[in-house]
Structure 1
C-alpha cells in the first residue's frame, strides 16, 4: 500500500509532465517558463484544451462575453455571497453555473471564477462589485474587477504570467479529485467545484498567505536566523519551502521571481524575501541534510500577489482562477477513458465473531 499514492500511476496524460528530480515542468510540450513568457491566459487555455472539444472559439471574445453573462446571472446573489469566507463564496457562485460537458460550459466556468473572485474582493472591502469589461484580456479584467481600477500594462502581464504558470501541474490533489468526479460522468461544474474544494486545504492551495505571515513575523533580514531557528525548534513548517514532488527548486518559483522583478512596487518586499530565502535555504541544508527542501511556487506567488494589491484572503481564489483551465482539460481527458475511478483498499478492521472462531 502507498498511502500518499506517489508510486501509483492513475492516468496517462498529454497535459503536463512534472519532473521532480530535474526541477522541470512541461505543459503540453512547452517548458513552463516559455509558456509564461510567450502566452496570454487565453492562448494557454486554448493550448491546454486543444483536441478536447469539437471546436474551441476564439477565447478572448468568448470569455469577455461569458464574463458579462456571468455577472448578470450572479447579480441577485451577491448579497448572499458577501458574508461567506472567500473560497466558500466562490464555490457557491460556481454552483450557479451550468453543469454540462460542452465548451460553452467550460468557458462559462472560467468566466464565473473571475467574475466571482472580483465581486468577492469588492464586497469584502465594503464596495459594490465591478462589472466586467468584455473588450479586455481575461487577466486584465480579473485584476480590474478585484481592485476597482484598470491595472498598468506591467501589472496585467504579471497576473497573466501567474495564471499561466499555475494552469496545470500533473496529478495534484485538486486535479485528481476533479478527474475522479469526471469519471462518474458528473458535469464540468461538479468537477471544478470538487477541485476548488481540494485546493482550499492549507497543504495545497492555501499556502501563499502564510508565506507573508512568515515574512511579517521575521520583519528584517538580520532577524531571520533567530526566527528560523526558533521555528524549527518548535517543529513548525517554513512556508514556501519543500514540495511533495520536486527534489530541487520548483521551476515555477523562478518564473514568478522573474515576474515580480518586473513590478516596481515589489522592490522592498522582494529584497527582504530574497535575503530571507537565502538564510532559510542555508538553515534547511544544515538542519535537514537528508531532505531536499528548496523554494516552491508559493514563496514568490505570495510576493507577486501582494505586489499586485490582492488581499491575502483571495489568494486561493486566484489560484483557482488559473488552475481551472487545467482542471477542465483533465476532466475532458478523463472522460475519454470511459473508466470509473475506483481504487481498491485493504480492510484492517475487526472481523465478525464467527469468522474469528473459524
Structure 2
C-alpha cells in the first residue's frame, strides 16, 4: 500500500480537487470565518485560559523523530487490529457532539465520510441525530458508541442496549465530563446548543427518557430539554458503578479521559477492555497534563493487557507517528474533521481524513518504517 503517494499524485494531476485547506491552521481560520461566533467557539475553545489545549500541542513539539536511512519502505502497512477487527489505519473519528451546529447533516455526513475512508466513527451521546440514524449512515463501516453516563442509570442502560442492537462494535464511556467545565467563550456568548434542542437526538428517541415525560417531545420540546438538563452527566459515579454497564452489554468497554497511571490500573482491575488517554482536547480541566505526556506512563501501567488509544492535540501525520511510537495503539481525530464538516460537509470530512492519513503514511515511510508495528520509542528523541 502506498496511500500517501497515491493521494499526492491524484492531487498533483487534478484528479482530486482540494475542497478544504490542507493546512490545519488555514482550515481552522476558514471555519472561524464561516461560522457564527457561538458555534465556532463551542468547537474551537477550551476550558479556562486554554492552558491544557496549548499543553497538548507543546507536548508534541518536545518529541522529535529521528529518521533511519537505507530502509525498504516502498510498500507500507498502516493497519492495526482492535477487538477482532482489522482497521486499515490507526485512526478513528473522535466522538464530537452537536455536529449540527456546523453543518445541517452533522453526524450523518461525518459517519458517511468516515466509512468511505475506512476510518471507524465514534458516535457521541450528544449527537443531534440519533445513534440509529448515524449507524444507518455509517453502513458497513466500523462504528463505536460513546456514552455520557446519565444521572438516570436506566437511560444510560437503554442507550448502551440500543447501540449494541444498532450494530456498534464497542462502548466508549467518557469519564471526564460528569459536568461541563467553565468555558469562557461559551459563557461570553451565552451559548449552549442543547438548550435549543440540538445535540439531544439520542434522548429524544430513547424510550426510557421519553417515558419520563408527560407528553412526547414533539408536543412539548421545552419539557424534554429541561429533563435533559437535569439528567445529563453524573458526578456521583465511582469505579464500582462500571459493573452496572458491563451487565448491560457484551460489547468491549473503553474508558475515555484517563490521565493518571493509577486510574489506568483501576480501569484494568475493574474489567475495562481499553483506555483512551485524553483530556477532552483541553475542554474540561484547565491546567491539566497534556494527553501525550500522560501516555507513556499509562502504557507502562497496563502493559499489553488492554489496548491504549489516545486523543487531544492530533493535527498531522507526524503527531500520529509520535503517539504510536510512545505506545498508543491508535489515535482519535476531533476538531480537524469538524472544521472539514463545517466547510464542505461530507466531502470536507473525507478530505481532512485523507490528508491526515496520507501525511501519516509518508511520514512513517520517510522515518524508515514500513508498518505501524515497527513504531516504537527508539524512533523518538525528547528535547
Larger Rg over CA atoms: 1
Give me the TM-score of the superposition, normalised by structure 1.
0.27
More strand by share: 2
Q: Which has the higher contact order (CA 8 A, sep 6+)?
A: 2
